[in-house]
């Protein structure tokens, strides 16, 4: 009986996908659950498994095609024989070598990011030990294997033998002249956007055309936070198993400011403002296919260590391509840190339907006036982009001042 391979329902907000790559070919026999095809969506990448054991008898949609949820991608014929099974016995061994089976199994249990890293680093993925769920091979596993298998220095060759004399009649071949490269030769590549990149582009344009975006700026003296981190960084890591970064301070400060100015924690629905009394803070994370914003749920109920652990986990899974739709869904306010890339000042774009986003930047020593004297202090510019439809300019300025006050006096965060 044939079984259809269909585009699965991933979430309410995802209605289409793009076929990134078929992992099996027509005529191959597969087991139920074996990964068959990789799909790209605007938020996550996923693998579609075989709905039943049998032969992949038909592939209806090819690599690179856009498909809708519920569409048929191909067919598994449970009664058919694979092409290898009907071939003459002399053409192939009765069963594949064990090494081939190992490579197929390892490839099927690796994430798409891990497979790509294996190709880039020329790593045999069948020899990589996975550390993900159920032993799944992650990108970090491949990178670790690539580092450990770096070629050692070549051994010193044995004493060279004297070269034999060249026959008298042999003449060296004339040198092949190199083809001159002229200044007029220029090349271009045309690369199709990934599904996620195309969606990011669309949403950014929509944000600019639907919201009345405006930005305000301030600067924060980071000396107190940096001194506190220096005093407690080792004991904090020993106790919690994670480093104490600056992100958790700004998450806590943002919650304090959102409590004081609740319209920054809202969204616009028609002629109404939806004021939210919970704090789901999105933290922008860079990934290979573009920026993603996983969400820290109920961040007001978490301590510094719990926030740092979640951010670290998000960054790791963004690199591995294993973030789920649930990780990215919702959010009431967003924090983005361009400082990790060296940005000194920027204007972040809203993440709809949110009405506020806080931009952090590079910490840089600058001369500032302190108690009538000029001192070098570790300063950071911060930016708040807000939707002017429901947030007034004075309110936005005071919100950012509240952020500044809380970060410059870390002890006040405990009171918040």
Secondary element (H or E) of residue 236: helix 223-240
Q: Which residues are part of the catalytic machinery? A: 388, 392
Own/partner contacts of 120-125, CB < 8 Å, gap of 24 or more, are: 121/146, 123/149
Q: CA 392 to CA 371: how far, in whole Å?
A: 32
From the list 299, 295, 218, the residue with the least C-alpha distance to 258 is 299
Give the pairing type, strands 281-283 and 333-337. Answer: parallel
* Alpha-carbon dihedral sign for residues 5, 197, 115, 322: negative
Q: 72, 68, 67, 55: which is closest to 5 by C-alpha?
A: 72
CB 216, CB 394: distance < 8 Å: no
Neighbour-count burial of 58, counting CB atoms closer than 10 A to its CB (0-12 exposed, 13-18 middle, 19+ buried) = middle
Element (H, E) at 209: helix 195-210
How far apart are alpha carbons 43 and 41 in whole angstroms? 5
Q: Across 132-175, where does the E strand assignment appear? A: none
Closest CA to 386 of 201, 197, 254, 250: 254
339 CA to centre of own chain: 17
Q: Which of 42, 14, 46 is nearest to 322 (CA)?
A: 46
Give the helix/strand (H/E) hosting 16: strand 16-22
């Amino acid at each position: 009986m044939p079984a259809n391979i269909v585009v699965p329902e991933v979430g309410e907000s995802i209605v289409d996908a793009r076929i990134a790559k078929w992992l099996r070919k027509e005529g191959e026999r597969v087991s139920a659950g074996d990964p068959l095809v990789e799909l790209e969506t605007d938020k996550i990448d996923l693998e579609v498994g075989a709905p039943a054991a049998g032969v992949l008898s038909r592939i209806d949609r090819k690599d690179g095609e856009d498909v809708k949820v519920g569409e048929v991608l191909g067919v598994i014929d449970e009664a058919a024989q694979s092409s290898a099974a009907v071939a003459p016995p002399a053409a192939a061994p009765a069963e594949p070598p064990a090494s081939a089976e190992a490579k197929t199994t390892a490839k099927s249990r690796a994430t798409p990011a891990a497979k790509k890293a294996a190709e880039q680093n020329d790593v045999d993925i069948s020899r990589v030990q996975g550390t993900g769920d159920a032993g799944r091979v992650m990108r970090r596993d491949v990178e670790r294997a690539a580092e450990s298998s770096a070629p050692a220095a070549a051994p010193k060759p044995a004493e060279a033998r004297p070269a034999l004399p060249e026959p008298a009649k042999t003449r060296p071949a004339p040198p092949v002249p190199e083809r001159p490269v002229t200044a007029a030769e220029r090349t271009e590549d045309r690369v199709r956007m990934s599904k996620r990149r195309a969606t990011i582009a669309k949403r950014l344009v929509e944000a600019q055309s639907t919201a009345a975006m405006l930005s305000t700026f301030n600067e924060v003296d980071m000396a107190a936070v940096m001194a506190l981190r220096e005093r407690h960084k080792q004991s904090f890591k020993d106790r919690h198993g994670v480093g104490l970064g600056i992100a958790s301070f700004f998450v806590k400060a943002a919650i304090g400011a959102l409590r004081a100015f609740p319209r920054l924690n809202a969204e616009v629905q028609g002629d109404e403002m939806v004021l939210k009394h919970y704090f789901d803070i999105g933290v922008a994370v860079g990934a290979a296919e573009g920026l993603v914003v996983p969400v820290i749920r109920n961040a007001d109920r978490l301590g510094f260590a719990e926030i740092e652990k979640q951010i670290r986990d998000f960054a790791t899974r963004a690199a591995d391509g294993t973030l789920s739709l649930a990780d990215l869904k919702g959010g009431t306010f967003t924090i983005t840190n361009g400082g990790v890339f060296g940005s000194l000042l920027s204007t972040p774009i809203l993440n709809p339907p949110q009405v506020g986003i806080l931009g952090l930047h590079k910490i840089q020593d600058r001369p500032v006036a302190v108690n009538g004297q000029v001192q070098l202090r570790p300063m950071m510019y911060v930016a708040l982009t807000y939707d002017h439809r429901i947030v007034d300019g004075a309110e936005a300025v005071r919100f950012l001042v509240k952020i500044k006050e809380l970060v410059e006096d870390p002890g006040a965060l405990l009171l918040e």
